[in-house]
A = this chain, B = another copy of it.
Amino acid sequence: MDQRGQSPDADYDGQRPSKRARRTPPPVESNGHTDRPPLSLSILAVEPVDEFILEVADFIHHHIMNKKDREGTIEVEAKVGILRENGSGTRVNLPVIVETILHPEYKEYHFESNMSPMQHRHFNTLLNKLKLASSQPGHPSSPLEYTHLHLVDTFYPAEGSGNKIRVTRDEKTKEVVACMQKKRLASLDIISPKRNADWRISVNVEVPVQMPIGTATFSRRKDRMSYTHEEFIIDLTQVTSTSGPNVKPEILHELEVELARPTYLFATALKRGDPNVPEAERSAFDELIRAFVNNARILVRNAPPDGWQ
């Protein structure tokens, strides 16, 4: 009997034996003796593949493997925010009661990643606590690393392409940290009716380019608290945008988690499901995406209820 997903990418994953411990003790009969074996995870003795995580993994894998130009690095990120209906601006509200992925052809909404300064502080406090806890002896996971970045982005029009050139500098030293064009490949939106926030997964390509000449069209200052945990970076950023000398700056607050090492992501994507590599390498991509989804869910579930700007 088949418990596989229907995606071809999922085939290799179909019948893998469970690595979860059987958790339920045998029921104790009224005479105090146990006469049943421990509960299996299912009639197939394995847990069916998680349809949600598989969908996210298939989506990211598809866009990594189908990237047309070989240049540039893949950026995969999940932003925390609110999905709003285009007309009313109210939060997208479908007759469902648990988290689910919206159909990519459903276009009646937009995504707002801006949160309130209070929410920003809330996440800052939580992440600082977690950083502290994770550095204590005996903590079950690797410690979080923390960097406070002060960056300035300036944007320039690019010839023959719709994608602006972004020059990122360290605010203090003025050193150029990055000079690139960012191209959005695709995104996947998730509504979370039980939570105070929704989320969006994006796959982008960042192509390094030569320093542009000419005048920047606008600039923004990024005050970023950046937490690194294993293969992931969680960025909590206050963005101050300036579109001209006499225009009042706009201040936004954003939270995102992204894959820290595009080369590792790409290497695992190449080996996904390859029968000629050891099982651990074959499943490394899916395990990476599982942890990515888990991290995004943890952030979304911790979003406070004070409403989004």
Contact = CB atoms under 8 A, between A and B. Distances in A.
B40 A230 contact: yes
- Complex copy number for this chain: 2
Interface in A115-144: 126-127, 129-130, 134, 139-142, 144
A20 interface: yes
Contact of A55 (B4, B44, B98, B290): B98
Contacts of A134: 43
Contact of A51 (B99, B288, B290): B99
B294 A48 contact: yes
A106 B295 CA distance: 31
Interface in A85-104: 94-104
A100 B103 contact: no
Main secondary structure of the interface of A (DSSP, over half): loop
B55 A97 contact: yes
A140 B17 contact: yes
A41 interface: yes
B98 A95 contact: no
A247 interface: no
B232 A288 contact: no
Say which size band chain A's interface belongs to: 35 or more
A36 B232 CA distance: 13
A141 B284 contact: no
A23 B280 contact: yes
Interface in A261-289: 261, 264, 267, 280-281, 283-284, 287-288
Interface in A1-59: 1-6, 17-21, 23-25, 27, 36-37, 39-48, 51-52, 55
Interface string A65-94: 000000000000000000000000000001
Given A43-B141, A302-B2, A101 B101 contact: no
A176 interface: no
A199 to B, nearest CB: 13
Given A283-B24, A297-B48, A40 B96 contact: no
A102 to B, nearest CB: 6
11 contacts: A5-B194, A23-B287, A36-B230, A39-B287, A40-B230, A44-B298, A45-B140, A51-B99, A95-B105, A96-B96, A97-B100
